[in-house]
Chain A
Amino acid sequence: MTTRVGRTLDGIFSWTGRLVVGLSVAFMAIPALFIMVLSFSNDRHIGFPPETWGLDRYVEVLTSRTWLDPIVLSLEIAALTALFALILVVPAVLGMKRGNLPGGTVLESAAVAPMLFPIAAYAVGLYAVFAEADLLGTFHGIVIAHVVHAVPMVVIVLSTALDRVRPELELAAMTMGASRARAWIGITLRLLTPAVFGAATLAFVTSFDEAVFITFLGGPGLVTLPKSIFDSVQYGVDPSITAVATILMVVTAVLMLGATRMRKDVR
């Protein structure tokens, strides 16, 4: 009797689970698919279903300066963000994990702390600081904000990866005649390479997608791709945004998938 009730309950739960997961996937994927379909229309206004099909919107995006300039700016900021985040975090993580640093674990949690702040509240705080330091509306100001935002993720990815590289590997290389630097670069850093690429990708993508800091701190002169999409939606709808959004989604998805794949390879 009780087993039958149990089995019925199991069935109900498992079907509810499937329904919830299915609905959330649909909820996320359908608007995205909708935009993708619309991006291949040549209509003058956005409308569903499209009356004409073609690649006009992609041609528009990749030739007009209204879209190309923000794309290039976003790519520059994202690349610099990834680079500086790595330059900061790689030595820091090695120091925290391998250097017998007193308070290393405290430092590690502190490095992850920015993740806990609501991003809008944090942006307000940064606004005050940037106003004081004359960084509002500057290129390097935005890079600094994005680096701060990316650091926790990079710390998490790299420190978990380093936990899987046993310290004895370096010692073994050293007994076999490798100098400390050679053991470090040839073994530890070599084994961390996939994680470094993964972390860089994450930093790149978060910066490339970032719309809050740029709204608060960018001012009128600095228009990144997310900002430009936002503006375009606000002041009359340019149908090209469907193509822009599609490009953004595909590039981000490919990069994230690549990063995940690389991290799996180390295991």
Chain B
Amino acid sequence: MTSVAAASATLQDTAVALHVRSIRKSFGNQEVLRGIDLDVQRGEFLTLLGPSGSGKTTLLRIIAGFESPDSGEMKLQGRDISRLSPAERGLGMVFQQYALFPHLTVAENVGYGLRMRRWESGPLRARVEHMLEIVGLPHLAGRKPRQLSGGQQQRVALARALAYEPELLLMDEPLGALDKNLRLQMEEELRRVHRELGTTVVYVTHDQEEALALSDRIAVMADGRLVGLDTPTALYQRPTTAFVAKFFANANLVPATATATAGAGRAEITAGESRFTVDSELRGDVVLAVRPRSLRTGEQPGGLVLGGTVVDSLLLGDDRQVRVDVAGIGAIVARIDAAQPGEFEPGSPLTLSVAVRDVTVLAP
């Protein structure tokens, strides 16, 4: 019985690549991390997502060993790494500004970690060539970094960080310095490389679209805490906090009250003129998260109805983004089909509505 429990514990341990417990960090009297718990599964692509100042970069730097936490523990494949130097942790890291060594060629950059590991020159050259093929730049091996474009430099940085097969790859806003088209292309590239090599990745970004496109799971951070941790789909469609709904899905937050009149597990929601029942245990003041895309023009029976005046309307190709000022609630942003007829000039009255199944009830 005990041996089975022990075996299952080990099994669980090996599935976890990075284990982070109660990490705290302050700079002066500013508390940047207020107790972070996180388990990254082996082979997983996990994104730390949050606005600037949320502590995501500090957490990454602590995992890398550039900063030491005030308290807490960190294990990599079961090995305690919290007291090790960056070199001893054996991680790979990709920086926002590439951080390629300007005095070395592309091939020498990619081979740097291997040379530190005292690889023989034969296998070293073969591995460097292989890595450059994976990122699609074998023809640039002899160039200096300054002769490459930003996208090429970041691909070299990726090849360099993966060349010695680290147990964990850390990426600090690696696409932040690239323009939008290149970013989309690099996202595809990153997904492909991750699929091919199966490396465990912890990725930091403040861009929720990037997080959606890349991640197996997303950890949303705010104010030094983890406020949501789930798959992109779950976080997007069923956010668990108002902050996640707002930051991650750009949801509108509509204040409302919930009463228990509808029975156990059900709540009757009152928001402005609308009244409907949903599955919820929450009572009293609540907020309703409504994604811009689930709003329709006109009234829908039984749903949440929001009437107001148009403040601004923006044509975005297939979509039209309309900002409506609703009395007693504030600005509501809706994304509707651009082909839909209607008057969207500023000042025109407009009624928006959303079906009950698209409303998420959250604590304020």
Contacts and interface: CB of A to CB of B under 8 A. Distances in A.
Chains A and B belong together in one complex: yes
A168 B66 CA distance: 10
Nearest to A176: B113
A175 B93 contact: yes
Interface in A160-182: 166, 168-169, 171-180, 182
Given A175-B65, A190-B103, 6 more contacts: A171-B86, A172-B95, A173-B101, A175-B89, A177-B90, A182-B116
B99 A180 contact: no
Contact of A177 (B95, B99, B101, B164): B164
Contact of B99 (A166, A179, A190): A166
B113 A177 contact: yes
Contacts of B247: none
Contacts of A174: 65, 85-87
Contacts of A173: 101, 112
Contact of B92 (A175, A182, A190): A175
Contacts of A177: 87, 90, 113, 116-117, 164
A73 interface: no
B331 to A, nearest CB: 40
B102 A191 contact: yes
A71 B116 CA distance: 47
18 contacts: A166-B99, A168-B97, A169-B101, A171-B66, A172-B93, A172-B95, A173-B101, A174-B65, A175-B89, A175-B161, A176-B112, A176-B161, A176-B164, A177-B117, A177-B164, A182-B116, A190-B103, A191-B102
B46 interface: no
Among B64, B103, B160, B164: residue with most chain A CB under 10 A: B103
Contacts of B91: 175
A175 B87 contact: yes
Given A177-B116, A177-B117, A172 B99 contact: yes
Nearest to B90: A177
A155 B54 CA distance: 37
A190 B108 CA distance: 15
Q: What are the 3 A-B residue pairs with the smallest beta carbon separation, nearest first?
A: A177-B116, A176-B113, A168-B99
Interface residues of A, number: 17
B134 to A, nearest CB: 17
Interface residues of B, number: 25
A64 B93 CA distance: 64
Interface of A: 166, 168-169, 171-180, 182, 187, 190-191
B234 to A, nearest CB: 32
Nearest to A167: B99
Contact of A175 (B64, B101, B103, B117): B64
Interface in B99-128: 99, 101-103, 112-113, 116-117
Contacts of B112: 173, 176, 178
Contacts of A179: 85, 87
A176 B116 contact: yes
B63 to A, nearest CB: 11
A9 to B, nearest CB: 42
A218 B117 CA distance: 56
A168 B103 contact: no
Contacts of B64: 171, 175
B203 to A, nearest CB: 15
Contacts of A169: 99, 101
Contacts of B117: 177
Nearest to B157: A172
B113 A180 contact: no
Among A176, A177, A179, A182: residue with most chain B CB under 10 A: A176
Contact of A166 (B66, B93, B97): B97
B103 A178 contact: no
B102 A175 contact: no
A177 B166 CA distance: 11
Contacts of B97: 166, 168
A171 B86 CA distance: 8
Among A168, A171, A177: residue with most chain B CB under 10 A: A177
B91 to A, nearest CB: 6
A178 B99 contact: no
B150 to A, nearest CB: 15
Contacts of A180: 85
Interface in B157-197: 160-161, 164, 170
Contacts of A190: 103
A179 B87 CA distance: 6
B62 to A, nearest CB: 13
B61 to A, nearest CB: 9
A169 B101 CA distance: 7
Nearest to B163: A176
Contact of B103 (A172, A176, A191): A191
Contacts of A171: 64, 66, 86, 93, 95, 99
Given A175-B87, A178-B116, A187-B101, A168 B95 contact: yes
A109 to B, nearest CB: 25
A172 B93 CA distance: 7
Interface in B309-325: none
Contacts of B160: 176
